A and B are shown apart, each in its own frame.
Chain A
Amino acid sequence: MTVQEMLSNYVQGNTWDEMMGHNEIRQPYQLLFEALAGLSSDQIAQKNAEASELFMNQGITFTVYSDKEGIERIFPFDIIPRIITSKEWEHIELGIKQRLKALNLFLKDIYHDQQIIKDKIIPAWLIASCPHYTREVFGINVPHDLYVHISGIDLIKGEDGKFYILEDNLRTPSGVSYMLENREVTKRIFPSLVTNNQVKMINNYPLLLHSILLSLSPRHVKTPNVVILTPGIFNSAYYEHTFLARQMGIELVEGRDLVVNGHKVYMKTTRGLQQVDVIYRRVDDEFLDPLTFKADSILGIPGLIGAYRKGNVAIVNAVGTGVADDKAVYAYVPDMIKYYLNEDPILPNVPTHSLLDKEKQEYVFNNIHNMVIKGTNQSGGYGMLMGNNTNEEEVAIFKQKVAENPREFIAQPIIKLSTVPCFIDGKLQARHVDLRPYALCGPSGIEIVPGGLTRVALKEGSLVVNSSQGGGSKDTWIIE
C-alpha cells in the first residue's frame, strides 16, 4: 500500500481532523503528503524502525518496573509530523504570554499582599485548602519577581477547531527534551521534508534557558554557578535532566552533591566547596529541604530554604508555584487575567465545574457520560474518571470519593480533542492529540520556541494522551 492509497482509506473520527477537512487535505498538510505519496507502507515502517533504534541507542528511555526487574522502553514516537500554521501559532503565543504574565503576578500577590483575596476575586478558603500553597515561602522575595520561569501549558484543539487551555503546568514540567529529540530524529529520517516545509527552528531552547538562568544569579559575578538538581537516575525524566545539562554545559547535581553553610549553597568538588548561585531544580517542592518540608527526604539539601530566604540562591521555578496550577485555581485564571491585566483572555479555559455544592455534584453525575472528573492535585493521567468510557462500579467509587472530599475534584465536559494522522499497523489512522509548548520567562520578557510537544493517545478512540497511559509523541512543525 502506498501513502496515496493509505490516504484514501483514512477514516476520520467524529471530531476536528487537522489533516483532513471536507474530503480534501488541508492546505498546511498538502506539501508533506505530496512528498510522502510515493512511499510504500514498508518503506514507512522501515523509517519507523530506524527512528526507534535512534531513541534506544541514545538511551532515551524510561524504565518500567515489573517483577522487581526494570525494563527499558522508549517513549513511543509517531513519525508523521503534526503541523500548525504560523497564524495559529501567533494566537497561541499571545495567549500563553498573557496567561503567564497574570500567573506570575498572582504568585507574587498570593505570597505577599494577597490583594486578590482582599478584593474577593478568589475566596481565601480555596487558597488555604490548596496543598501546594506553601506557607514556608510566604514573604520571600524572588529575583525580578519571577516565580514561573519554565512552564509547559497544555492546550487542546476542540471540535470547533479552536485552541483551549487544558491545564497549567507550572512546577517542573517535563518533555522538552522529547520536543527537541523528536525534531532531530525527523531530520535524520526525512531530511528534505523539514527544509522544504520551512519548519521553524526550535533548537535554540537550551541557549535561551541558559541565558535566563544566568540572569537570575543573586551574586553579580562574571560566571555564576548554575546547576540542574535531579532526583537521580531512577527518576523517569532523568534522560531529560542529563540532556539539558549537556546542552547548556552546566553541572547536573544530586542533593548529596550540595551542602549549605552560612546560608550559602555549595557544591562538593574535587577542589573543595564551590558556591552555587542558581538551581534549576527538577525535584518537587516537598523534597527540597528536609528541615522545612518532608523530614525523611534524602533528595534534598538541609538548609536550602534558609539560603533561599536570604536571597543567596535562586531556585527555578520558585518554591510554591504549585498553588497556581491547582486544578481548582485553574477555573479562576480568566478572572486573574481580568484583575491583574484588565484584558480578556486570548485563549479560553475549558469550562470547569467545582463539585462543592450538592446540586453541582448531582448535575455532574447525571451527565457523567459527557464529563471527566479530575483530582485537583493529580497529574500524569492518574486519579481521573473519563465518563464516556467507564462503568457503574467506577462511577460509584468516584461518587463516594467526591462526597468525602469535594474540594479535591473538579469536573469538565469531555472535549473531543482534535485528531491527526498516525502511522499505526501499516495504515494511517486518526488519533487524538494535545499540545504542550514550552514557555520561558526571564527578566527581559517571555519567549516561546515555535513548537512544542504533541502528545498523542495511541489507543483508538482514547482521549488520554499521558505517556503513563499509553500515549506517544510527535514532532510538531510550525510552518509559514
Chain B
Amino acid sequence: MLSRIADSLFWLNRYMERSEGMLRLMRTNYVLSLDKGPSDSNNWKALLQIYSNLSLADQQLLQDSSQKIISHLLVDPNNDNSLQLNLNRARENARGMQDHITKEVWEQVNHMYHKINSKNTIETILNNQQLAPIEYLLKNSLLYTGITDSTMPRGMSWCFMNLGKYMERCLLTIELLDKYFSEIDFNEEKDILYWRTLLYSVSGYEFHLKNYRESSVNFNVAHQIIFNNEFPYSIFYCLTRVKKYFEIIVDENKTKDKNMLVKEFGRIYSNVEFTDLQWIKKTGMSMYLQTSKYNLLQFTNTLSQTFFSYS
C-alpha cells in the first residue's frame, strides 16, 4: 500500500472519530445545560479547552451563552478545530484515495461534508437552532461507522483505519478524564451528578449504572474509563484494539524496525494493563494521564515516520 494512502486512511478515521466525539460532547453539554445545575459552566470550559484555540479571555466572553459556544465549535471559520473543518479534512483525505475506500464509505463522507457546508445548515446553526443539526450529524457519524464496518474489506486499509479510530478515541478519553479529575481532588468524593456529563459524553452513563453499584463514585468512574475492557471508550479497550491492528500491520509489512516499534507500544500498553487505581492514586491521576498521553503522541510520531513518511 502507498504510504500516502495509509496516511489518508489513518487520518480519515481520526477526523471522523474526532467529529463524532465532539458532536456527542456538544449534545450532552447542551441538553444538560438546559437544567440549571451547580457545575454547568465547567462543562463548556472543558470543551472549549479541547476544541478551541481561543485565548482564555475570549473563552470567558463566550461563557454566558451555550449557543454562542456551540456555533463557535461547529462552524466558526476562526476556529481551527471546528467540526466543519474536521469534516472538511476528513473528506479531503477520503477524496485523495477514493479508489481505496468503498463507494458507500465515500458517499457517506461526502454526504456529511455537503451537509455541514450547506448554507441551510450554517444558517440554522447561526440562528441558534443547533440541536437538530447536531443530532443529524451524530446519527450520520454512527452511520459512517456502520457503513465502514459492513463494506470495507478486511485488509491493510481496514487496519490503518481502525488504528486511527482507536488512537483518536483513546486520546479523547484521556483528555476528558484529565479535565474532570483536574477540577477535583481524588479523595474529595463527588456524586453521580458531577460525573454524569462525562459519562454521557462517552456513552457510558447507563453502563455505569448497570455495572457499578457500591461505594466511591470517583473510584468507579476511574475504573470504568481506564480499565473496563467491556466498555468501548475505556483507555484499555481502545489500546487493545490498537494492539490488534498494529500487530497485523507490523507483521504484514515486514517492517524493518519492528522490534523498536513493538517495544514502544508494549510499554504504553503495560502501563495500563499492569497498573491499578491504588498505584495511580499514589503517583497522581494527572501525572498518570499526562504521561500516557505524551507516550501515545510519541508513538504516533514513530508510526508516521515508519509507515506514512513520503516526503
Residues of A near any B CB (own CB < 8 A)? 57-59, 72, 232-233, 238, 242, 245-246, 251-254, 256-257, 267-272
Contact = CB atoms under 8 A, between A and B. Distances in A.
A232 B103 contact: no
Interface in B74-127: 92, 95-99, 103, 106-107, 110-111, 114
16 contacts: A57-B110, A57-B111, A233-B96, A238-B95, A242-B98, A245-B99, A246-B99, A252-B97, A252-B99, A256-B310, A256-B311, A268-B2, A268-B3, A270-B2, A270-B3, A270-B156
Interface residues of B, number: 26
B70 interface: no
Contact of B310 (A72, A233, A257): A257
Interface string B125-146: 0000000000000000000000
Contacts of A252: 97, 99
B151 interface: no
A251 B2 CA distance: 8
B41 interface: no
B200 interface: no
Given A59-B95, A233-B92, A256-B311, 13 more contacts: A59-B106, A59-B110, A233-B95, A251-B99, A253-B4, A256-B310, A257-B4, A257-B310, A270-B1, A270-B2, A270-B3, A270-B156, A270-B253
A227 B81 CA distance: 35
Nearest to B311: A256
Interface of B: 1-4, 6, 92, 95-99, 103, 106-107, 110-111, 114, 156, 249, 253-254, 256, 307, 309-311
Contacts of A257: 2-4, 310
A387 to B, nearest CB: 41
B203 to A, nearest CB: 30
B98 A270 contact: no
Contacts of B107: 57-59
A58 B2 contact: no
A159 to B, nearest CB: 43
Contacts of A268: 2-4, 309-310
B121 to A, nearest CB: 15
A57 B309 CA distance: 32
A246 B98 contact: yes
B2 A271 contact: no
A59 B156 contact: no
Contacts of B256: 272
Nearest to B95: A233
B103 A269 contact: no
A253 B253 contact: no
Contact of B103 (A58, A253, A271): A58
B2 A267 contact: yes
A436 B110 CA distance: 30
Contacts of A253: 2, 4
Of A72, A270, A271, A272, chain B has the most CB atoms within 10 Å of the CB of A270
A444 to B, nearest CB: 27
B186 to A, nearest CB: 42
Given A58-B103, A256-B310, A257-B310, A269 B95 contact: no
B99 A254 contact: no
Nearest to A254: B4
Contact of B99 (A242, A256, A271): A242
Kindly list the 6 A-B residue pairs having the minimum CB-CB distance in the complex, ordered from nearest.
A242-B98, A245-B99, A246-B99, A268-B310, A268-B3, A270-B307
Contact of A271 (B254, B309, B310): B254
Contacts of B97: 252
B92 A271 contact: no
Contacts of A58: 103, 107
B302 to A, nearest CB: 14
Contacts of B98: 59, 242, 246
A242 B94 CA distance: 11
Nearest to A248: B99
B253 A271 contact: yes
Nearest to B160: A270
A269 B3 contact: yes
Contacts of B2: 251, 253, 257, 267-270
Contacts of A232: 96
Contacts of B253: 270-271
